[in-house]
């Protein structure tokens, strides 16, 4: 259970970073 939650957090963090990069490249 804890492992799955940690993996989910990493996936969300990665999506957050890629989303930020995309927004920055838009400008």
Rounded to whole angstroms, how far apart are CA atoms 27 and 9? 28
What is the distance between the terminal CA atoms of the chain, rounded to a whole angstrom?
Answer: 40
Per-residue pLDDT at 21: 80
Per-residue pLDDT at 26: 75
pTM: 0.48
Per-residue pLDDT at 2: 82
> 1-26: per-residue pLDDT in tens?
688 898 898 999 998 888 888 887 87
Q: What is the DSSP string of 1-27?
A: -HHHHHHHHHHHHHHHHHHHHHHHHH-
Residue at token pair 């804890």: 2
Per-residue pLDDT at 24: 79
């Amino acid at each position: 259970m804890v492992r799955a939650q940690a993996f989910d957090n990493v996936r969300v963090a990665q999506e957050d970073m890629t989303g930020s990069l995309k927004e920055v490249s838009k400008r």
